[in-house]
Amino acid sequence: MSGVPNQPFSARETEISGLYVIEMKQFEDERGTVREFYRESDFVGAGLPSLGPWVQMNLTATAHGALRGLHGEETQKFVGVASGEAFGAYLDPRRGSPSYGRVVTVALTPGTGVLVGRGLCNGFQAVAPGVTEYFYCFDEEWQPNMAGVSVSALDPDLAIAWPIAIDPAVRRLISEKDATLPRLRDLA
């Protein structure tokens, strides 16, 4: 381990307007790795919005193969994994958007995050053995029935190639709520 940055900060816009893949700056030395999860000057310098102040941060522990999402609240989120690995899927459900209906997938390992713009749907499947810790930072507190939409992660029209097969009846793989979400075409 060198003690100098072995990965600089970078941000790449995806095919979905408002969705960015972030590679966090990280430093390694004999003790391990330090990742700059969020540095205001790097984000703003890359033309991204300021993300502070965060008002809620969640960390989920999700078992191998389990799926969460696709949820699209009217809040800006920054997501990634603290440990393990996830297959992230992001959908633009915003009618009138040039990227409406488009799906982007991202392999998430520690050091890679995704900035999820307002109204975009976020979902993931834990693909590492054991438990994957997935974090969410929100610029607004989550509330039941807050504005936004949720779409079935198993919607065949979206054709998301989840790495591990999901049986919608198996609750350790998908919640009843997520298993019964509507298809994109059925949203009003």
Q: Is the pLDDT of residue 51 over 60?
A: yes
Give the tens place of pLDDT for each residue, 131-151.
Answer: 999 999 998 888 888 889 999
Q: Which alpha helices (H) appear in 40-175, and where do they start and end?
A: 40-45
The fold for domain 14-21+57-186 equals Jelly Rolls (2.60.120)
Cβ neighbours around 68 below 10 Å, total: 18
Distance between CA atoms of residues 63 and 125, nearest Å: 9
Q: Domains of the chain: which residue ranges?
A: 14-21+57-186
How many residues are recorded in the chain?
188
Q: Enumerate the β-bridge partners of residue 54.
A: none
According to the model, what pLDDT value does residue 54 have?
85
Distance between CA atoms of residues 60 and 62, nearest Å: 6
Average pLDDT of span 24-41: 90
Query: In Å, how far are 39, 79, 177 from 16, measured between CA atoms?
Result: 23, 16, 26
